[in-house]
Amino acid sequence: MLRKRSVRSVVLSDSPSTGGRSTLLIVAAFAAALLVSIQPAAAQDPLPSWNDTAPKKAIMAFVERVTKAGAPDFVPVPERIATFDNDGTLWAEQPLYFQFLFAIDRVKALAPQHPEWKEKEPFKFLLAGDLKGALAGGEHALLEIVVATHSDLTTEEFERVVKDWLAAAKHPKTGRLYTEMAYQPMLELLAYLRANGFKTFIVSGGGIEFMRAFAEKVYGIPPEQVIGSTGKLKFELRDGQPVLVKLPEIQFIDDKDSKPVAIQTHIGRRPIAAFGNSDGDLQMLQWTAAGNGARFCLYVHHTDAEREWAYDRQSSIGRLDKGLDEAKERGWTVVDMKQDWKVMYPFEKK
């Protein structure tokens, strides 16, 4: 900020009386533009939607510790890896994971091509609007719905289907597009970390191709930094043109114990900061915390029944029970959404 200010004052105070000087002014203005784009605006609050409570202070203190050249906890840029869960951490996840709401809509859209679903569980329940009946089949029913709605398409066709759904479908409570329900404080946090040399990754139980359809636009996270659950893919030539077809088989479920495995396989470097909201993220936080040097682990705790939803230990979606205990024990940062966030969603700011 010091540099930026001095550049500006020079630009304003020097008058362009000579050719040399005006060149100089252009150069200085150019330098100022460069500095503005390169330097994070330190004087501006990088996290304006966070209240000035403990979590915001802890985040900023950590970033300062690891980015200050010569400091004992300095971390070189290539090692500044931060991993984020998606559902319930970067965007909302109630009343059901948004990807599952997509799958339900897709069952309805595909039903004419599957007359057998009228008689078949769990599809017949979904088609009759009986969500409870559909989910009574537990994990097996869930998987069957996801597999049926996420396969037998090429990867490009699937991307189009997801993008079309995201552009039109509305959330039952807010009436907003699902992508409008990313948490504003987390969007600021992602940008703040990146401005400080961090590479931000999603490490989520959600489907990798579902998330990639919006992660770059909504979070600024490119597809190669999105890690998630995957289905099997098959390479084939169709009329001489290569395509990748989504097969109806699960390849990898990116949850719990599998999150550190996915981080190792995909990133190959241990994060120095990790952000989650449920017990499914606990191993990712443990793995992150166990590295040498400064580490930062944060849980988003859903405490705001009014602006969002309040749930933790008893919830079937995003249960936070063991994780909450371990966070307290180990001094990890826990965000109380009601207390710590000024704004929940970007649309509240308008």
Q: Summarize as ranges the residues that interact with a copy of itself (CB under 8 A).
A: 3, 6-7, 10, 13-14, 20-21, 23-24, 27-28, 30-31, 34, 38, 78, 81, 155, 199, 208-209, 212, 216, 222-226, 230, 233-235, 237, 241-242, 244, 251, 257-258, 260-261, 264-269, 283, 286-287, 290
* Comparison of 254 and 340: residue with beta carbon closer to a copy of itself: 254
**Cβ-Cβ contacts under 8 Å for 64 (sequence gap 6 or more):** none
Helix then strand count (H, E) for the chain reads 14, 7
* Comparison of 238 and 350: residue with beta carbon closer to a copy of itself: 238
CB atoms within 10 A of CB 250: 14
Q: State in angstroms the smallest separation of the CB of 60 from a copy of itself.
A: 26
* Comparison of 92 and 218: residue with beta carbon closer to a copy of itself: 218
CB atoms within 10 A of CB 302: 25
Q: Are 51 and 59 in contact (CB under 8 A)?
A: no
Q: Are 188 and 344 in contact (CB under 8 A)?
A: no
**Cβ-Cβ contacts under 8 Å for 121 (sequence gap 6 or more):** 134, 137, 141
* Comparison of 158 and 183: residue with beta carbon closer to a copy of itself: 158
Q: Are 201 and 211 in contact (CB under 8 A)?
A: no
- The DSSP string of 226-246 is EEEEEEEEEEEEETTEEEEEE
Q: State in angstroms the smallest separation of the CB of 219 from a copy of itself.
A: 13
* Comparison of 199 and 319: residue with beta carbon closer to a copy of itself: 199
Q: State in angstroms the smallest separation of the CB of 247 from a copy of itself.
A: 10
* Whole-number Å distance between alpha carbons of 75 and 91: 29
Q: State in angstroms the smallest separation of the CB of 208 from a copy of itself.
A: 7
* Comparison of 59 and 289: residue with beta carbon closer to a copy of itself: 289
* Comparison of 14 and 157: residue with beta carbon closer to a copy of itself: 14
Q: State in angstroms the smallest separation of the CB of 221 from a copy of itself.
A: 11
The structure tokens listed for 163 are: 């993008």
- The DSSP string of 102-149 is HHHHHHHHHGGG-GGGGGSTTHHHHHTT-HHHHHTTHHHHHHHHHHHH
Q: State in angstroms the smallest separation of the CB of 4 from a copy of itself.
A: 10
Q: State in angstroms the smallest separation of the CB of 90 from a copy of itself.
A: 17
